[in-house]
Amino acid sequence: MAFLADALSRMKPSATIAVAQKARELQAKGRNVISLGAGEPDFDTPDNIKQAAIDAINRGETKYTPVSGIPALREAIARKFKRENDLDYDASQVIVGTGGKQILFNALMATVNPGDEVIIPAPYWVSYPEMVALFGGTNVFVSTKQENNFKLTAADLEAAITPKTKWLIFNSPSNPSGAAYSHDELKALTDVLVKYPNVWILTDDMYEHLTFDDFKFATPVQVEPRLYDRTLTMNGVSKAYAMTGWRIGYAAGPKELIKAMDAIQSQQTSGTSSISQWAAVEALNGPQDFIEKNKKIFQGRRDLVVSMLNQASGISCPVPEGAFYVYPSCAGLIGKTAPSGKVMETDEDFVTELLESEGVAVVHGSAFGLGPNFRISYATSETLLEEACMRIQRFCAACK
C-alpha cells in the first residue's frame, strides 16, 4: 500500500518557486544571476503599516483571532469593497486568510467534487490548476492569443461551458501576462455568464491597484450585479501594499460559501496572524498615496523592459495593462541553436539556456499553460532590469 496520497500525483510543484530556488542556488555558488522569476514588489512595507503592527504588539494583540478575521479588518475590507468597487458586503460576508492562495484553496476545497469542471483561461497563475486537480476537479483550459493581449473572449468562454462547469477562475490584471480587462471587455464575458446559472465566478483581483496608462479597473460583479450571489471576489494586501511576507488575503461573497470556507479554515490554520491583521487594517484604512507613486515606478520599468525585449532578435513582447509582468513570445528562437550548442525545441529549453549562458532567471511560458513564451517580473530596479535585458539581447543574438 502506497504511503503518500494519490492526490499528490495529480499536482505539480510551483514552477515560479522552482525558478527562484534555482537562481538562489546558482548565486550561492558564486554565479552572477539576475532573478526575474519572483512576483514580489521590491518596495518596503510603508512605515505607517509597520508602525500599526508594532503598536498591536505593544497593546498585547497577540492572541488567537476569530477564524474569519478580526472584526476591525473584516469591516475595513467591507468598506474597501464599497469605496473602491461599489460593492455592498456585510462584514459577515468577508473572510481573511493566510494569503490569497489560502482563500482560493479553501473556496475550491469547499465546492469542487470529482468531475466538476473549472474553466481557467491560459496563460494562468501556476497554482490554479494544481488546486483544482488536488480536489479531483477537471481543469478546462481556454487558450488566449497574443494578438488579443492574452484576453478571454466571450465566444471562447461560452464554448467552454458545459453542464459540469462549476467555476470560472478569472484573474485581472493577470499573472503572468499583465492583461487587464476593460469594463466593456468584462461586460461581454458577464453577458455570457448570466445565461449559465450553474457557473460561479472566482475572481482574483490581487493586482487591482497596479494598472497603467489611465486604465480603469473593474471587477466582474461590479459590471454585472446579477452575478452577486455566485461570485467570490478575492483580493489582498501583498502586491499593492508591498506586504507579501505578512500573508494576508481576503475575499467577500455569499454567506453560505464564506461559512463553508470558515469551517475548513477552522480545521486547518484557524485565524491568520493577529499582528498581520492589524497591519492590514492600517493598510486599508490609512493613506493610499504611495500606491500611485509606486505605480509610476512600475510603469517606467514596464516601458523599459518592453522596449528592450522588442529589440532582441526573435522576441516579441506585447504591452501589458497591469501587474508587474511581461509575457513575451520566444517563438523566433525555437529551433535555433543556443551558444552551448543545444537546439532549443521548447520555451523551457530557452529559459534553461538563458540562465546557463547569461545568468538571467525567468519562468517558461508552458508552466503557465501557454507557450512558446516566458514570464519576466519587473518588480526590481531599473539598473538590474536594463542589465538583464542587455543579457537577453546578447543571448538571442548569439543563437543561430
| DSSP state letters, 129-183 | HHHHHHTT-EEEEEE--GGGTT---HHHHHHH--TTEEEEEEESS-TTT-----H
Residues with Cβ within 8 Å of residue 25, at least 6 apart in sequence: none
Rounded distance, CA 181 to CA 166, Å?
22
Could you count the other beta carbons within 10 Å of the beta carbon of residue 46? 22
CA distances from 107 to 134, 157, 377 (A): 13, 21, 27
Rounded distance, CA 367 to CA 386, Å?
25
How high is the mean pLDDT of the chain?
96
Confidence at 382, pLDDT banded by 50, 70, 90? very high
Which of 178, 215, 151, 122 shows the shortest CA–CA distance to 326?
178
For the segment 346-374, the average pLDDT, to the nearest whole number, is 95
For the segment 215-224, the average pLDDT, to the nearest whole number, is 98
- Work out the angle between the directed axes of helices 274-285 and 71-85 (0-180°, nearest 10): 30
pTM for the whole structure: 0.95
Residues with Cβ within 8 Å of residue 56, at least 6 apart in sequence: 274, 275, 278, 279
Confidence at 14, pLDDT banded by 50, 70, 90? confident
In the chain the domains, ranked by start, together with CATH numbers, are: 6-44+290-398 (3.90.1150.10), 63-285 (3.40.640.10)
Which of 124, 172, 150 shows the shortest CA–CA distance to 16?
124
CA-based torsion, 302, 308, 311, 312: positive or negative? negative
Rounded distance, CA 184 to CA 198, Å?
23
Do the beta carbons of residue 165 and residue 141 sit within 8 Å? no
- Looking at the predicted structure, is the pLDDT value of residue 166 above 90? yes
First vs last C-alpha separation in the chain: 51
Q: What's the pLDDT score for residue 38?
A: 81
β-pair partners for 235 = 250
Q: What is the pLDDT of residues 83-127, one digit of tens each?
A: 999 999 999 999 999 999 999 999 999 999 999 999 999 999 999
Burial track 308-318 (b if 16+ CB lie within 10 A, e otherwise) = bbeebebbebb
Rounded distance, CA 117 to CA 138, Å?
5
Q: What is the DSSP letter of 213?
A: T
- Single-letter residue type at 240: A
Q: What's the pLDDT score for residue 77?
A: 98
Kind and range of the H or E run holding 231 = strand 231-236
Confidence at 25, pLDDT banded by 50, 70, 90? confident
The three grid cell numbers given for residue 75, joined into one nine-digit string: 469591516
Confidence at 13, pLDDT banded by 50, 70, 90? confident
β-pair partners for 127 = none
The three grid cell numbers given for residue 161, joined into one nine-digit string: 461551458
- Looking at the predicted structure, is the pLDDT value of residue 7 above 90? no
What are the backbone angles phi and psi of residue 233, rounded to the nearest 5°?
Answer: -100, 110
- Looking at the predicted structure, is the pLDDT value of residue 2 above 90? no
What does the CA dihedral 234, 237, 240, 242 come to, rounded to 10 degrees? -150
β-pair partners for 197 = none
- Looking at the predicted structure, is the pLDDT value of residue 313 above 80? yes
- Looking at the predicted structure, is the pLDDT value of residue 22 above 90? no
Which of 312, 323, 314 shows the shortest CA–CA distance to 368?
323
